[in-house]
């Protein structure tokens, strides 16, 4: 895979089974090279695999979020068709095909949508703009006034004057806003009788400080929302069974992070919920989010992160018996739906795009990535086990270059994931494919502090305040260095004198930390990184919540925050360093890159700063296709300069 192959990436997303269980609607996304933008179309496939899948919407822009009406007559979807910068609105099309009709005409995009049980209405979420946005000239617009610390969000922008709320639209297009106020509402679900809507929200007086998501209910006709869940857990993605039982994501609230997300069920709204998945000791809320729990008769189906994979499980709603794995294997599941014996899911492996499969045996229904995967030689990563300094075993992978020759000694690149409470997965990963095709052996791993393993594993780098734990840059540092050491010992074709390291976000923190504590690497690239925990506290959209992981707030623990800041060790950095940052990054603001760059330049170190305009924290995943290609070019050029 070469950098320019980004333009040929494609995949399947968001499958939904028709009410008669004969068909499945899903999105196929692709990239429009000429427009430098992403495209999406709704497709339909037969569940039994008969016939070829058919394109259902034009896909001239970005169509997505397909949802069948319960009576089977309609399919709704969202699309940004129209002029440039048009928001994604709801459209309606007959289930058997025909002309799509626009249902909503909002100035902000529709983000989620659910049909009412009687197929007469759709509840959806969208942001409600302050009237000041009607003034398009920033030089004339009134200043923004914020009273909450949570007033911006990466890849979204300002949220303090455009909160996310619930809306309802009927089939005639009559649209009304259901919730309002200085709150954040999300993931709505209808009650079986269609009289109320349940949703997850931040709605308490100090919600922006607490950040505990609770479940609420509101009459479909309007009114004041009623709080359903309490303070003991963060709750989200409500889902009702036909007889009124309520399932949802449940994450214990004890003032510390991280914790595994679990699946809980209440026999009726407001009743005490029973957590059903604690025996798994795995993260049941994968990142990026796939979807919430789905009812199937008396069982609840959900996704689980497990050792680099994402699998599907089901569990009895009454808590009898252990959770059962429905779909496993070395793959990442990125979407699913289930109804009776009908099961569909989106799956990807190291060398395959996200495709649609049906049944537990995984009958493949789509081949959208066939041209991409068969038209080039992709490297298949090999899993191995590294042994850390204290004897801990760490999952790791090695990626050989295409055309691998065991008699050749190859330069090595270590790449480190973000989070930290996330995992590197076994799905297709363009990063390692491009670097391997550049002639490098690539190493990646899941060190302590990440998800996909036990909760103890994920909490291993809490601190350093008090007795919370050792903090970042401790056992996680030992783990990733052990991956390098184990690989050098195990694979004799690695050139230990030509090694580079790269990472983004928390992985950027680790990259900056590594070069401040060892000179083993000949070059490093730190992306969208955390370099100074003190300034990051106030400049990020939500970094202040990390006091729950660090063990205490910055203002009472400035010295410990500086001790764990990579920039504190700038004088020790001798490794040539490329600092890569996006100018619209609100998660790890560009000042983090500027801060380290200025320090190193003033210290006379070998450093460069590469800034991408108009990009957020998500540059490598959903940024402008041109910028994604230019970034890959820059990465290969920089490592090529120092590693040969």
User: Which of 505, 512, 560, 582 does the annotation list as catalytic?
Assistant: 505
Specify the range with the lowest mean pLDDT, choosing from 130-134, 332-336, 526-530.
Answer: 130-134
Element (H, E) at 237: strand 233-240
Which of 582, 587, 511, 581 lies closest to 544, judged by CA?
A: 587
Residue with tokens 């709505």: 188
pLDDT at 83 (0 to 100): 86
Give 450's contacts (C-beta < 8 A, 6+ positions apart). Answer: 417, 419, 420, 421, 422, 423, 457, 458
The SS3 assignment for 471 reads coil
> Is 145 a member of any domain?
no
Which whole-number Å values give the CA distances from 590 to 187, 259, 593, 609, 617, in the listed order?
31, 29, 5, 10, 10
Element (H, E) at 430: helix 430-437
Which whole-number Å values give the CA distances from 353 to 6, 42, 83, 210, 334, in the listed order?
12, 17, 30, 39, 11
* Geometric angle at alpha carbon 394, from 392 and 398, rounded to 5°: 150
pLDDT at 312 (0 to 100): 98
Give 84's contacts (C-beta < 8 A, 6+ positions apart). Answer: none
> Is 564 a member of any domain?
yes
What is the three-state SS of 211-252? CCCEEEEEECCCCCCEECCCCCEEEEEEEECCCCCEEEEEEE
> Is 42 a member of any domain?
no
Which of 462, 573, 571, 562 lies closest to 512, judged by CA?
A: 573
What would the pLDDT profile of 463-483 be if each residue is shown by its tens digit? 999 999 999 999 999 999 999
> Is 560 a member of any domain?
yes
As a whole number of Å, the end-to-end CA separation of the chain is 19
Residue with tokens 């095909």: 97
Domain count, the chain: 1
pLDDT at 84 (0 to 100): 84
pLDDT of 85 above 90: no
Tell me the pLDDT band of 375, cut-offs 50, 70 and 90: confident
Residue 155 tokens read as 């890849």
The gap from C-alpha 553 to its chain's centroid, in whole angstroms, comes to: 26
Q: What is the CATH number of the domain that holds 419?
A: 3.40.50.1820
Backbone angles phi, psi at 616, to 5 degrees: -105, -165
What is the distance between the alpha carbons of residues 279 and 283, in angstroms, rounded to a whole number? 11
User: Which of 259, 417, 595, 617 does the annotation list as catalytic?
Assistant: 617
DSSP bridge partners of 113: 124
pLDDT at 404 (0 to 100): 98
Sequence-ordered strand ranges (E) for 490-563: 494-504, 523-527
Give 440's contacts (C-beta < 8 A, 6+ positions apart). Answer: 401, 410, 411, 412, 413, 500, 639, 643
DSSP structure class, residue 272: P
Kindly report the average pLDDT of the chain as a whole number: 97
Which of 463, 448, 435 lies closest to 395, judged by CA?
A: 448
Cβ burial of 263 (10 Å; 0-12, 13-18, 19+) is: buried
The SS3 assignment for 101 reads strand
pLDDT at 181 (0 to 100): 97
Q: Which residues span the domain enclosing 394?
A: 377-643
Give 636's contacts (C-beta < 8 A, 6+ positions apart). Answer: 3, 434, 435, 438
Q: Do 321 and 251 form a contact (C-beta atoms < 8 A)?
A: no
Catalytic (active site) residue 109: no
What is the distance between the alpha carbons of residues 25 and 13, in angstroms, rounded to a whole number? 10
Cβ burial of 362 (10 Å; 0-12, 13-18, 19+) is: middle
What is the distance between the alpha carbons of residues 419 and 342, in angstroms, rounded to a whole number? 34
Which whole-number Å values give the CA distances from 70 to 16, 20, 80, 115, 566, in the listed order?
12, 9, 25, 7, 54
> Is 540 a member of any domain?
yes
Residue 482 tokens read as 């052990």
What is the distance between the alpha carbons of residues 200 and 184, in angstroms, rounded to a whole number? 9
Residue with tokens 């850390």: 388
pLDDT of 599 above 90: yes
What is the distance between the alpha carbons of residues 41 and 56, in angstroms, rounded to a whole number? 7
Q: Do 498 and 639 form a contact (C-beta atoms < 8 A)?
A: no
Q: What is the full DSSP assignment across 102-146?
A: E----SS-EEEEEE-TTSSEEEEEEEEE-GGGG---TTTSPPP--
pLDDT of 76 above 90: yes
pLDDT at 644 (0 to 100): 87
DSSP structure class, residue 62: B
Q: What is the CA radius of gyration of the chain?
A: 24
pLDDT at 15 (0 to 100): 98
Tell me the pLDDT band of 155, cut-offs 50, 70 and 90: very high
pLDDT at 51 (0 to 100): 92
Residue 65 tokens read as 């979020």
Range 547-558 average pLDDT: 97
> Is 242 a member of any domain?
no
> Is 221 a member of any domain?
no
> Is 207 a member of any domain?
no
Share of the chain above pLDDT 70, in %: 100
Catalytic (active site) residue 617: yes
What would the pLDDT profile of 16-53 be if each residue is shown by its tens digit? 999 999 999 999 999 999 999 999 999 999 999 999 99
């Amino acid at each position: 895979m070469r950098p320019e192959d980004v333009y040929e990436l494609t995949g399947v997303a968001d499958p939904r089974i028709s009410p008669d269980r004969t068909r499945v609607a899903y999105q196929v996304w692709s990239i429009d090279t000429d427009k430098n933008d992403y495209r999406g179309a709704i497709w339909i496939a037969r569940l039994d695999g008969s016939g070829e899948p058919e394109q259902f919407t034009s896909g001239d822009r970005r169509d997505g979020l397909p949802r069948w009406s319960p009576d089977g007559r309609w399919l709704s979807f969202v699309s940004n068709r129209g002029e440039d910068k048009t928001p994604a609105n709801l459209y309606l099309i007959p289930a058997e095909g025909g002309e799509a009709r626009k249902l909503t005409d909002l100035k902000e995009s529709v983000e989620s949508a659910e049909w009412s049980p009687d197929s007469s209405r759709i509840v959806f979420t969208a942001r409600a703009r302050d009237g000041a946005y009607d003034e398009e000239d920033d030089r004339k617009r009134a200043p923004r006034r914020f009273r909450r610390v949570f007033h911006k969000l990466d890849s979204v922008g300002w949220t303090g004057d455009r909160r996310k709320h619930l809306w309802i639209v009927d089939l005639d297009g009559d649209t009304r806003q259901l919730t309002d106020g200085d709150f954040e509402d999300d993931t709505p679900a209808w009650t079986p009788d269609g009289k109320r809507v349940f949703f997850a929200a931040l709605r308490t007086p100090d919600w922006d400080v607490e950040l505990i998501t609770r479940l609420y209910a509101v009459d479909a006709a309007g009114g004041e929302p009623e709080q359903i869940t309490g303070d003991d857990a963060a709750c989200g993605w409500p889902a009702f069974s036909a007889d009124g039982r309520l399932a949802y994501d449940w994450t214990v609230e004890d003032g510390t992070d991280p914790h595994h997300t679990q699946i809980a069920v209440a026999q009726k709204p407001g009743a005490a919920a029973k957590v059903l998945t604690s025996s798994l000791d795995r993260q049941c809320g994968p990142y990026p989010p796939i979807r919430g729990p789905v009812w199937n008769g008396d069982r609840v189906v959900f996704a689980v992160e497990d050792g680099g994979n994402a699998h599907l499980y089901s569990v009895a709603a009454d808590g009898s018996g252990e959770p059962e794995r429905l779909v496993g294997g070395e793959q990442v599941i990125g979407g699913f739906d289930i109804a009776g014996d009908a099961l569909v899911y989106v799956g990807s492996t190291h060398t395959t795009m996200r495709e649609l499969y049906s049944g537990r045996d995984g009958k493949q229904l789509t081949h959208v990535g066939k041209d991409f995967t068969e038209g080039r030689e992709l490297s298949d990563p090999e899993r191995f086990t590294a042994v850390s300094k204290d004897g801990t075993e760490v999952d790791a992978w090695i990626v050989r270059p295409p055309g691998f020759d065991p008699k050749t000694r190859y330069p090595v690149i270590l790449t480190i994931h973000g989070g930290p409470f996330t995992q590197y997965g076994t799905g297709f990963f363009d990063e390692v494919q491009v670097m391997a095709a550049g002639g490098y052996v690539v190493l990646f791993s899941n060190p302590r502090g990440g998800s996909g393993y036990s909760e103890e594993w994920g909490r291993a780098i809490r601190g350093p305040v008090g007795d919370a734990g050792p903090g970042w840059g401790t056992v996680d540092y030992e783990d990733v260095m052990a991956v390098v050491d184990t690989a050098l010992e195990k694979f004799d074709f690695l050139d230990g004198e030509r090694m580079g390291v790269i990472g983004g976000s928390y992985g950027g923190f680790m990259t900056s930390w590594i070069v401040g504590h060892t000179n083993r690497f000949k070059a490093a690239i730190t992306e969208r990184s955390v370099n100074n925990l003190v300034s990051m506290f106030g400049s990020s959209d939500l970094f202040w919540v990390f006091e729950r992981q660090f063990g205490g707030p910055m203002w009472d623990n400035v010295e410990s925050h500086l001790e764990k800041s990579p920039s504190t060790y700038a004088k020790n950095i001798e490794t040539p360093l490329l600092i890569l940052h996006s100018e619209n990054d609100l998660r790890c603001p560009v000042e983090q890159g500027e801060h380290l760059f200025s320090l190193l330049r003033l210290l006379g170190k070998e450093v460069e700063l590469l800034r991408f305009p108009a990009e957020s924290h998500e540059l490598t995943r959903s940024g402008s296709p041109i910028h994604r290609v230019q970034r890959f070019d820059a990465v290969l050029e920089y490592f090529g300069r120092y590693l040969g």
